[in-house]
Structure 1
Amino acid sequence: MSGIDLSANMLYGEIPWEIGNLSHVKLLNLSHNSFTGPIPTALANTSPIESLDLSDNELSGPIPWQLTQIWSLEVFSLAYNNLSGCIPNSGQFGSFSMESYVGNANLCNLSQGNQCSPVPGPVQEEDVGEASADPFLCIISATSFVLAFWATVAFVFCHPLGQRVLLQL
């Protein structure tokens, strides 16, 4: 078996430590569930794993340093959990972007000088409601709708093809 995707399955409770016995899995996706508790250190035993996604759960505690021993890890996400402490910067962890950790208010990035600094929050997307509040955009949209409506009415009642279609109904 090369991959296990259990994402969005309403799973809850702690991630079982036995998951570390999956020695031939290359992809493990447990995202979008309700897992709680710490990340099992036994995940470090899944050494050929290339993709590990534990995002969008309720995991807590620090990131186990044992995970830095997984050298095959290429894709990794712990985003949107309740993790705390410093992000390890050894092994593959030095190559992951901050997007892998976003949404963990108590998680810190180990910076130069071995000091922990907070992980930046998620990028705020522009509010869709603000764009629709633009009066110029509202006027153009309303005018386009009115013109399209009257063009359709004129076609149906004035053009011979439109009249034939109307009569067939």
Structure 2
Amino acid sequence: MSGIDLSANMLHGEIPWELGNLSHVKSLNLSYNFFVVPIPMTLSGMEEIESLDLSHNELSGPIPWQLTQLSTLGVFSVAYNNLSGCIPNSGQLGFGMESYLGNTNLHQITQGGMCAAPSPDPAAGKEVEETTGHPVLYVVTAAGFVLAFWATIGFSFCHPYGRSVMLKM
């Protein structure tokens, strides 16, 4: 089997530990679901995994150190969860900070071996602001559509030219 994509399926609960038995799967995408509790360390049994996306869930706890043993892993994301602890700096999990964004209690290991909070990403804050939107803009847009709809209806039935067009249909 090449890959499993179960993203955005409203799945919830724990990630099944049995997925770790799928040693020949190359890609696993469980993003945009509602998985909770820690990432199962059994995922380290996916010996041929090249891409693992667990982003946009509600996972908590640390990243299992066993995942650093996945030698074929080239794409990895646990962004936007509730993970905590240190980002493993050994093995295959040395990805850019974009793989770990949105986990406020997840920290980098510094050169002295200490955990340090990641520097705030201004782009991440901007993304949240843009997706949150502005309620006033939505109200004004909706009111504009309603007004345009009723103006078209009024013109079609009340104005002589609008009535003549409607009668020709």
Query: Aligning the two structures, in what range does the TM-score lie when normalised by the shorter sequence?
Result: 0.7 to 0.9
Matched length: 136
In the alignment, which residue of structure 2 is the partner of 1:28?
Answer: 28
Match of 1:37, SS?
coil
Task: Report the alpha carbon displacement of residue 109 of structure 1 after superposing the two structures with TM.
Answer: 0.4
How far apart, CA to CA, are the structure 2 residues paired with 1:104 and 1:119?
10
| 1: CA distance, partners of 2:12 / 2:6 | 12
Q: Percent identity?
A: 67
For structure 1, the residue ranges without an aligned partner over 5 or more in a row are 130-167
Give me the CA root mean square deviation: 2.4
Contact 2:53 2:76 in 1 (8 A): yes
CA displacement at 1:120 relative to structure 2: 3.3
Question: Residue 9 of structure 1: SS of its match in structure 2?
Answer: coil
Give the aligned residue type for 1:101.
Y
* CA-CA distance at 1:10 after TM superposition: 0.2
Moved over 4 A (4+): 126-129
The answer for the alignment partner of 1:125 in structure 2 is 126
TM-score normalised per structure 2: 0.73
Secondary structure, in 3 states, of the residue corresponding to 2:23? coil
The structure with the largest strand share of the pair is 1
SS of equivalent residue, structure 2 residue 126: coil
Cα distance, 1:23 vs structure 2? 1.1
1:116 equivalent to 2:115? Answer yes
**What are the superposed Cα offsets for residues 97-144 of structure 1, whole Å, 9 maximum, x if unpaired?**
000000001001001101111123442328678xxxxxxxxxxxxxxx
- Structure possessing the higher radius of gyration over alpha carbons: 1
| Structure 2, gaps ≥5 residues long | 134-167
2:106 counterpart residue number: 107
